[in-house]
Amino acid sequence: MAKINEIYRCNHCGNMVEAIVEGAGELVCCGEAMELLEPRQLPEGGVKHIPVITKENEKIVVTMGEEAHPMLEEHYINFVELIVGDQVYRANLKPGDEPKAVFDVNTEVEDVKAIEYCNIHGLWHS
């Protein structure tokens, strides 16, 4: 059963989907069930992965980790999502970009959470 905002990945072709409506069915790609990605917040690897949320000039800024995450062809942050109540804002990143996203959302840091996806280390949350 898929729940709203859950992210799934096909372990064959790499397709990723995010559930926008809850459903009882199984998400399938390439003939197999898709893997539910569970956001992590582990000390190991977290210094470069756990999203750090700040407010700057009435905008929310999400940086990838306390130390800058690499943004190389072989290792980078693919996307960042900012969740404010029932609203989801997404920034897509690519190799060479700065490992941060700026969202034009004027709210308090305490009212938001963020998730980011590293192409090697998976999904992480604030």
Determine the Cα–Cα distance for residues 37 and 97; give it in Å rounded to an integer.
24
What's the structural domain count of the chain? 2
56: its two tokens: 């700057």
33 and 91 share a domain? no
80 and 19 share a domain? no
In this predicted structure, what is the pLDDT of residue 48? 84
30 and 63 share a domain? no
97 and 120 share a domain? yes
51 and 17 share a domain? no
> Where in the sequence is the domain holding 88, given as residue range(s)?
46-125
33 and 72 share a domain? no
In this predicted structure, what is the pLDDT of residue 118? 94
Q: Which CATH number characterizes residue 60's domain?
A: 2.60.40.730
Q: Which CATH number characterizes residue 28's domain?
A: 2.20.28
In this predicted structure, what is the pLDDT of residue 17? 96
- Show the low-confidence residues of the chain (pLDDT under 50): none
In this predicted structure, what is the pLDDT of residue 45? 66
Residues near 119 by Cβ (< 8 Å), separated by ≥ 6?
Answer: 75, 76, 77, 78
